[in-house]
Chains A and B, each alone.
Chain A
């Protein structure tokens, strides 16, 4: 085995390089983007389903609903891919954070390897231990640097795609909202049209009642009883029409409520797209700006390096 001096030199060079890298490197919080993606996935999926259902409810809506369902499925698959992408970013960050633990494990494995080879091929023992101590100490920080760089590359490469996707999804959701409004109105109009004759009759009754009430009761004309009787007859007829009119109104109210609830989800989804795209941009910017790493961590790294160099000198 050679002299330990090259190891010392190596350690110093690594230290300088790493300090340079670390002074501009930290791993950001990816969770907000992951959460935003998961939420967007759910919102897009459910929005599509409710609108497909409304189109299916139309007499002539089956074919259109099928096309919409098929197209929307592609959005859901895209969101599946985006959730996985967000999780892969999280995996990179986690890998960077896990660096210390795994570097120690690797160091221990290399030392064992050193001992094993030294038993067969003499000359490879002590220096290996020191070298691996240095390497594992550095690797904890190298992992952070690698993770930050990998994250930056992934985010930068994805940013243009994210922007186009956000724009497309935003247009899709705007179209979906229009489809919802059209489909529900068509259902409401069709409901009322089914009762065209009945509604016409009721409208006529209401018109007559208003006319009688508006005319007022003229005591001198002696028509009071006649008017009251007419009003009673109209009220009785209106009460009969209530049998179909009230359930019709209830159905219309239910349709209106369903439309408003679905529209609320779609509006939230639209806002979600904006936030989702913004959180990716923020994440990319954070990584690009490379916020300064924790100073205590850097100081500790420097102490560790000095201790390892001392060990090499004492050999």
Chain B
């Protein structure tokens, strides 16, 4: 069970070891290497667990090791979160873009199903039938201008029908 701390004795030797670890931690922080950072964090934790004896001097070294370890962890985490946050604005733009595409896609699909055209024809048919009934009722009335207007409306409907035919 020997490790890098097995042969260390005395405050000075422990301080020297911590100094070495802090140097590695600095390099890992600069390199922005997640695995290297986690490796040195483990070594700092092991330093804390193995450092002897329990004295105020050693305790101070342990505190430095612990704070460095936590700082390194939080730095790594906040850096990654910042990188994620930085990409957010692009993704928000794409969210809007794809929402618009979805709407356009559904409108297109709706048109392809011919549903709107079918509704127009159905409405027009109903209107013509209603006007036919009106015309029958008006045939008994000698009102030339009114009959002329109705025939004009019917003529327009005839045009609509022709357009549908040629569509």
A81 CB contact (under 8 Å) in B90, B98, B122: B98
Identity of the chain B residue whose Cβ is nearest the Cβ of A179 in the assembled complex: B80
CB neighbors of B among A9-65 (8 A): 10, 55, 58-61, 64
Residue-wise, chain A 148-166 has the 8 Å CB interface mask toward B (1 for contact) of: 0010001001100100110
Give per-residue flags for A164-189: 1 if the beta carbon is below 8 A from chain B beta carbons, else 0.
Answer: 11001001100110110111011001
What's the minimum C-beta distance from B86 to chain A, rounded to whole angstroms?
Answer: 9
Measured CA separation A146–B105 after assembly (Å): 12
- Tell me if B125 is interfacial: C-beta within 8 Å of chain A: yes
Q: Is the CB of A98 within 8 A of B132?
A: no
Does A291 belong to the interface (CB within 8 Å)? no
> How big is the B interface, by class?
35 or more
Please give, as numbers and ranges, the residues of chain A lying within 8 Å of B106 by CB-CB distance.
88, 91
Give the residue of A70, A120, A139, A186 whose beta carbon is less than 8 angstroms from that of B131: A120
- In the assembled complex, the Cα of A164 lies from the Cα of B42 at a distance in Å of 37
Contacts of B77 in A (CB 8 A): 55, 58, 61, 64, 179, 182-183, 186
Say whether B102 contacts A113, CB under 8 Å: no
In contact, B128 and A116 (Cβ under 8 angstroms): yes
Map CB proximity to B onto A95-128 as digits: 1 under 8 Å, 0 otherwise.
1101100110110011011101101110010001
A152 to B117, CA, bound (A): 24
Whether A250 is near chain B, meaning CB under 8 Å from some CB there, is: no
Q: Is the CB of B99 within 8 A of A81?
A: yes
Chain A residues within 8 Å of B91, by CB: 74-75, 78, 165, 168
A150 to B111, CA, bound (A): 11
Residue ID in chain B nearest A187 by CB atoms? B73
Separation of A120 and B128 alpha carbons in the complex (Å): 8
**CB neighbors of B among A184-220 (8 A):** 185-186, 189-190, 192-193, 196-197, 199-200, 203, 206-207, 210
Asked if B52 and A60 make an inter-chain contact with CB atoms under 8 angstroms apart, the answer reads no
Assuming the contacts A106-B118, A175-B80, A200-B52, asked whether A206 and B1 have C-beta atoms less than 8 A apart, the reply is yes
Nearest to A92 among chain B residues (CB) is: B109
A94 nearest CB neighbor, chain B only: B109
A210 CB contact (under 8 Å) in B1, B112, B121: B1
Which of the residues B70, B84, B132, B155 comes within 8 Å of A60, measured between beta carbons? B70
CB of B35, distance to nearest CB on chain A (Å): 8
Q: Please classify the interface of chain B as helix (H, G, I), strand (E, B), loop, or mixed, using the class held by over half of its residues.
A: helix
Which residue from A143, A165, A190, A199 sits with its C-beta under 8 Å from B94?
A165
Stretch at the interface among B7-15, B23-31, B141-149, B157-165: B157-165
How far apart are A76's CB and chain B's nearest CB, in angstroms?
10
Closest B-chain residue to A207, C-beta based? B1
Is B80 a contact of A102 with CB atoms below 8 Å?
A: no
The listed residue (A84, A99, A172) touching B102 by CB distance below 8 A is A84
Knowing A95-B112, A181-B38, A189-B42, say if A113 contacts B121 (CB, 8 Å). yes
Complex contacts, A176 vs chain B, CB 8 Å: 80, 84
A contacts with B, residue count (CB < 8 A): 85
> In the assembled complex, how far is the CB of residue B69 from the closest CB belonging to chain A, in whole angstroms?
6
* A150–B105 CB distance below 8 A: yes
Is there a chain B Cβ closer than 8 Å to A132's Cβ? Answer: yes
Closest B residue to A139 by beta carbon equals: B114
Is there contact, CB below 8 Å, between A199 and B49? yes
Q: Which residue of A lies closest to B131 (CB)?
A: A120
Residues of the A chain whose Cβ atoms lie less than 8 Å from the Cβ of B99? 81, 84
CB neighbours (8 Å) of A8 from chain B are: none
Tell me which residues across on chain A come within 8 A of B110, comparing CB atoms.
Answer: 95
Q: Does A312 contact B (CB under 8 A)?
A: no
Known contacts A161-B97, A161-B98: A200-B132 contact under CB 8 Å: no
Q: How far is the CA of A186 from the CA of B106 in the complex (A)?
A: 48
- Is A230 part of the contact surface with B, judged by Cβ < 8 Å? no
Not counting A67-B85, A88-B103, A95-B108, a sample of 12 additional A-B residue pairs whose C-beta atoms are within 8 angstroms of each other reads A58-B73, A61-B77, A64-B78, A102-B114, A102-B115, A106-B121, A110-B165, A135-B167, A146-B112, A150-B108, A157-B101, A203-B50
Please name the 3 residue pairs, one residue from A and one from B, whose CB atoms are nearest each other, closest first: A88-B105, A95-B112, A95-B109
